[in-house]
Amino acid sequence: MKDKVGLHELYAKDADAADEQVFGRQVDPVSRRGFLRGSGLVAMMTALGASIPFAKYMPGGLIPAALAQTENAFQLAGKDGLTILNDRPVNAETPAHMLDDEITPASRMFVRNNGVPPTLENVDANNWFLEIGGESVANETKLSLTELQNTFQHHTLQLQLECGGNGRSEFTPPARGNQWTTGAIGCPEWTGVRLRDVLQHCGINDDAVYVAYEGADTHLSGDPKKLPISRGVPLHKALEKESLLVWAMNGEPLPMLHGFPLRMVCAGWPASVSGKWLNKILLRDRVHDGEKMQGQSYRVPCKPVAPGATVTDAEMCIIESMPVKSLITFPKSGNSHSRNAELEVRGHAWSGDHQVKRLYTSIDFGATWQRAKLRKPVNRLAWQHWSATIEFPEDGYYEIWARAVDDRGISQPHVLPAWNPRGYLNNACHRIAVSVAG
């Protein structure tokens, strides 16, 4: 008896072969457009339960969004319908349609851990201390959380955090790590003090180049001498007015899973630089060499490589500002809609250290694009909200694609960006499925 494999597994092994095997679609190796006609077109329409008006524009190797969705919900304390990716450590993402709020609620903020978080029983906010040290600090200092709150000016900003591996599940060949789809992103309000105010209070030596953190989470091995993660940012990023040490999310104390009682937030860069359960800041005279800073962790090839290529550590560069990206949060993928009515679509867009300037939508697999309404961010490094009104020319299966362009003129790629060994920085256009009938 022939073994059965899932659609994702089949496409991961050989997308072109899967196209031909599943739908009888042959792919032009130059244009990457698929020749979907005859029995192949009938097979895909049968699977989707609708005709595909713009089938001739569908890229080869593309699993229709309606077939690519997964519904694997679980209940995590304080969370609302997130999808679990791993339970040791706990990592969970938020389905795109549940990120529709302009300010991400704590209950819908993704969870990314590298080690074992401290428990509430072991954390006393009234007796929590932050040490500031390292080779490049003028005066080593230890501040209680209360002193931190009473000494420095408070700031509240809406800041986006995105896991560097968000979108990893789409890479072929597959990349090792949590198979995030689109939901490792959130943009809550954070309240705290500026990191630069604290560093300047302690004194920054002229040789300082990097600012790193350590936290109270423990290594999965249980070895107290090992840190699960200790990353950081160059001094210039740490000194930005948006880089904060925070104790509140959306006006409430930080949830335990998000770093209670204190964390760092350096928005626009991989969320791994925003350390949780913060108990130590290091001013370094070199690029930080802590856990998850070396080897291939949170690094991509310095130059483009072929999919599946072997890349040495020396050929990998540290990820800094995250790429331009967007998300469709309404309607939910798989929605049915009447052809006689307009469809209101909305979502968010962001671009690391930059601002999104234009947002486009497409219903013909990227053959043509229509400009959407785009709002300015409430403050620098917050995501931006967009909306569009869409009309459908005839009944059938459609995909709505969203594409953002930032202030450098850099656009999201239509399908997949350059492959990399760890599956970082996938900023392909987000797409949802819509079934239209009169």
Q: Are residues 198 and 113 in the same domain?
A: yes
Q: Are residues 351 and 206 in the same domain?
A: no
Instruction: Say if CB 84 and CB 74 are below 8 A apart.
Output: yes
Specify burial of residue 223 (Cβ count, 10 A radius: 0-12, 13-18, 19+).
Answer: exposed
- pLDDT score of 31: 53
- CATH code of the domain covering residue 141: 3.90.420.10
Q: Give the total number of structural domains in the chain.
A: 3
Q: End of a domain among 286, 318, 350?
A: 318
Q: Are residues 388 and 365 in the same domain?
A: yes
Distance CA 421, CA 301 (A): 8
- CATH code of the domain covering residue 336: 2.60.40.650
Q: End of a domain among 260, 293, 318?
A: 318
- What is residue 202's three-state secondary structure? helix
Sequence length of the chain is 438
By residue range, what is the domain housing residue 156? 83-318
Residue 138 lies in a domain: yes
Distance CA 76, CA 362 (A): 35
**Which of 236, 242, 230, 235 is closest to 137 using CA atoms?**
235
Residue 72 lies in a domain: no
Residue 272 lies in a domain: yes
Is omega for the bond preceding 105 within 30 degrees of 0, making it cis?
Answer: no
Residue 1 lies in a domain: no
Ramachandran angles phi, psi of 196, nearest 5°: -65, -35
Instruction: Say if CB 218 and CB 194 are below 8 A apart.
Output: no
Q: Are residues 36 and 177 in the same domain?
A: no
- Kindly give, in sequence order, each residue whose CB lies less than 8 Å from that of residue 411, ignoring residues fewer than 6 positions away: 324, 403, 404, 405
Residue 265 lies in a domain: yes
To which H or E segment does residue 237 belong?
helix 235-238
Instruction: Say if CB 381 and CB 160 are below 8 A apart.
Output: yes
- Kindly give, in sequence order, each residue whose CB lies less than 8 Å from that of residue 164, ignoring residues fewer than 6 positions away: 270, 271, 272, 298, 319, 322, 424, 425
Q: Are residues 87 and 233 in the same domain?
A: yes
Q: End of a domain among 318, 341, 374?
A: 318
Q: Are residues 269 and 383 in the same domain?
A: no
Q: Are residues 279 and 140 in the same domain?
A: yes
Residue 290 lies in a domain: yes
Q: Are residues 141 and 46 in the same domain?
A: no
Q: Which two tokens stand for residue 308?
A: 């599946």
- pLDDT score of 120: 84
Q: Are residues 233 and 370 in the same domain?
A: no
Q: Are residues 52 and 137 in the same domain?
A: no
Q: Give me the tens of pLDDT residue by residue for the chain, a chain 438 residues long.
A: 333 444 555 566 666 666 665 555 555 555 545 555 555 666 666 566 678 888 888 877 777 887 765 544 445 778 888 988 887 788 999 999 999 999 999 999 999 999 999 988 889 999 999 999 999 999 999 999 999 999 999 999 999 999 999 999 999 999 989 999 999 999 999 999 999 999 999 999 999 999 999 999 999 888 999 999 999 999 999 999 999 999 999 999 999 999 999 999 999 999 999 999 999 999 999 999 999 999 999 999 999 999 999 999 999 999 999 999 999 999 999 999 999 899 999 999 999 999 999 999 999 999 999 999 999 999 999 999 999 999 999 999 999 999 999 999 999 999 889 999 999 999 999 999 999 998
Distance CA 27, CA 33 (A): 6
Q: Are residues 144 and 13 in the same domain?
A: no
Residue 155 lies in a domain: yes
Instruction: Say if CB 261 and CB 123 are below 8 A apart.
Output: yes
- pLDDT score of 36: 57
Q: Are residues 39 and 99 in the same domain?
A: no
Residue 78 lies in a domain: no
